[in-house]
């Protein structure tokens, strides 16, 4: 008779422990590789994230405030992006959103508004000290006016907000524009030799601003020869901040805002418009609205903004 083999429980226990360790290590690796945390469907304030890094305090706060509704496996081409939900309200809000009859504009983030009197430089003056402006637009305005002063030796511009002051007939800025409620527009006038305020027509040395405003992210909102598209005659004194990449692309293509929004519909998340700027690049693409909630991909890092076109979709701009 062959001797019976004895089961050595010590060796069996060690084998089981080794097997379980390998199993859990493999499962953890699978979760990291196959199901990364880069694609999360969320509901929260992701409409604007220009802090640059996903680990920043501001972005972390936004993530903490958001309610995660679903986590999905991300395909390889979507790694590094979040999937966010946009609503019908968002379609009427943003840095590129135009005024459309019957579709009221939604104001931008009030936390980014500043009193222009508190941040302005000495290269221009204000018609009224209660003018409020988006902080990015205010920074760009200061830089533009400083460079205008360097180029011409003048500091004769008066910033006249369309939501403040006198807009009656015969004044330098007789029209109160709906888009001024976004906090990204400024109206310009000139200080005359007698100290009086006169109209700005975009001519003479002051024409430098019209010629160069796109470098700083501003456009002449109602340019010459585009009234059929904009519905408004040429207003050289009414500038709107849309960001440097958008402004320079519009200038290069000879497009007003309405035409630019149509132009962007040719670019998608899979085939975006790439705009090269000095020191940075931006990627822009259109997302068609789909019912009450629209999903869009935005980058985890690098920063982004989302702007509605107040019609049928959204424009995502990401910063490299």
User: 13-31 b/e with 16+ CB inside 10 Å = b?
Assistant: eeeeeeeeeeeeeeeeeee
Q: Which two tokens stand for residue 200?
A: 């700005």
Reported as a pLDDT band with limits 50, 70 and 90, residue 44 is very low
Q: Rounded to an integer, what distance in angstroms lies between the CA atom of residue 158 and that of residue 161?
A: 10
pLDDT digits (tens, 9 = 90+) for 261-275: 999 999 999 999 999
Average pLDDT estimate for 71-83:
65
Reported as a pLDDT band with limits 50, 70 and 90, residue 25 is low
Average pLDDT estimate for 116-142:
94
Contact by Cβ (8 Å): 315, 261: yes
Reported as a pLDDT band with limits 50, 70 and 90, residue 39 is very low
- What average pLDDT is seen over the chain? 80
Average pLDDT estimate for 165-190:
80
pLDDT for residue 111: 86
Radius of gyration of the chain (CA): 27
Helix (H) or strand (E) holding 81: strand 81-87
Cβ burial, residue 132 (10 Å; 0-12/13-18/19+): middle
Reported as a pLDDT band with limits 50, 70 and 90, residue 22 is low
pLDDT for residue 279: 74
Reported as a pLDDT band with limits 50, 70 and 90, residue 71 is very low
Average pLDDT estimate for 49-74:
34
CA dihedral for 83, 85, 91, 97, sign (positive or negative)? negative
pLDDT digits (tens, 9 = 90+) for 206-254: 999 999 999 999 999 999 999 999 999 999 999 999 999 999 999 999 9
Contact by Cβ (8 Å): 226, 233: no
Q: Which two tokens stand for residue 121?
A: 């430089």
- Label the pairing between strands 185-191 and 235-241: antiparallel
Neighbours of 300 (CB within 10 A): 18
Q: Rounded to an integer, what distance in angstroms lies between the CA atom of residue 184 and that of residue 302?
A: 23
Average pLDDT estimate for 16-29:
54
Average pLDDT estimate for 252-260:
98
The residue count of the chain comes to 320
pLDDT for residue 315: 97
Range scoring the smallest mean pLDDT among 18-32, 88-102, 220-234: 18-32
Average pLDDT estimate for 13-37:
49
Angle formed by the axes of helices 257-264 and 244-253, nearest 10°:
100
pLDDT of residue 180 exceeding 50: yes
Residue 280 pairs in a beta bridge with: 277
DSSP conformational letter for 3: P
Q: What is the DSSP string of 216-244?
A: GTEEEEE-TT-HHHHSS--EEEEEEE--H
pLDDT of residue 190 exceeding 70: yes
**Which position has the higher pLDDT, 284 or 80?**
284
pLDDT for residue 169: 64
pLDDT for residue 104: 87
Residues of the chain above pLDDT 90, percent? 54
Q: Rounded to an integer, what distance in angstroms lies between the CA atom of residue 77 and that of residue 271?
A: 12
Q: What is the pTM of this model?
A: 0.76
């Amino acid at each position: 008779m062959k001797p019976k083999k004895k089961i050595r429980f010590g060796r069996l226990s060690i084998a089981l422990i080794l097997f379980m360790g390998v199993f859990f290590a493999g499962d953890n690796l699978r979760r990291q590789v196959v199901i990364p945390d880069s694609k999360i469907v969320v509901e929260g304030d992701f409409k604007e994230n220009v802090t640059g890094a996903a680990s920043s305090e501001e972005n972390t706060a936004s993530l903490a405030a958001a309610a995660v509704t679903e986590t999905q496996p991300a395909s390889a081409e979507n790694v590094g992006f979040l999937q966010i939900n946009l609503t019908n309200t968002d379609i009427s809000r943003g840095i590129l959103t135009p005024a459309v009859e019957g579709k009221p504009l939604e104001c931008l983030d009030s936390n980014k508004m500043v009193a222009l009197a508190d941040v302005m430089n000495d290269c221009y003056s204000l018609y009224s000290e209660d003018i409020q402006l988006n902080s990015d637009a205010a920074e760009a305005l200061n830089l533009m006016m400083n460079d205008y002063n360097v180029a011409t030796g003048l500091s004769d511009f008066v910033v006249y907000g369309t939501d403040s002051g006198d807009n009656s007939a015969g004044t330098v800025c007789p029209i109160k524009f709906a888009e001024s409620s976004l906090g990204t527009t400024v109206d310009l006038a000139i200080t005359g030799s007698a100290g009086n305020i006169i109209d700005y027509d975009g001519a003479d040395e002051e024409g430098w601003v019209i010629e160069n405003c796109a470098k700083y992210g501003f456009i002449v909102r109602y340019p010459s020869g585009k009234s059929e598209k904009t519905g408004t005659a040429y207003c050289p004194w009414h500038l709107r901040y849309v960001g440097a990449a958008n402004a320079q692309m519009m200038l290069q293509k000879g497009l007003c805002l309405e035409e630019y929004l149509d132009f962007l519909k040719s670019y998608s998340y899979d085939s975006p418009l790439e705009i090269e700027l000095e020191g940075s690049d931006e990627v822009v693409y259109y997302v068609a609205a789909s019912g009450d909630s629209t999903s869009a991909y935005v980058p985890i890092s690098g920063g982004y903004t989302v702007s509605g076109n107040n019609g049928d979709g959204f424009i995502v701009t990401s910063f490299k």
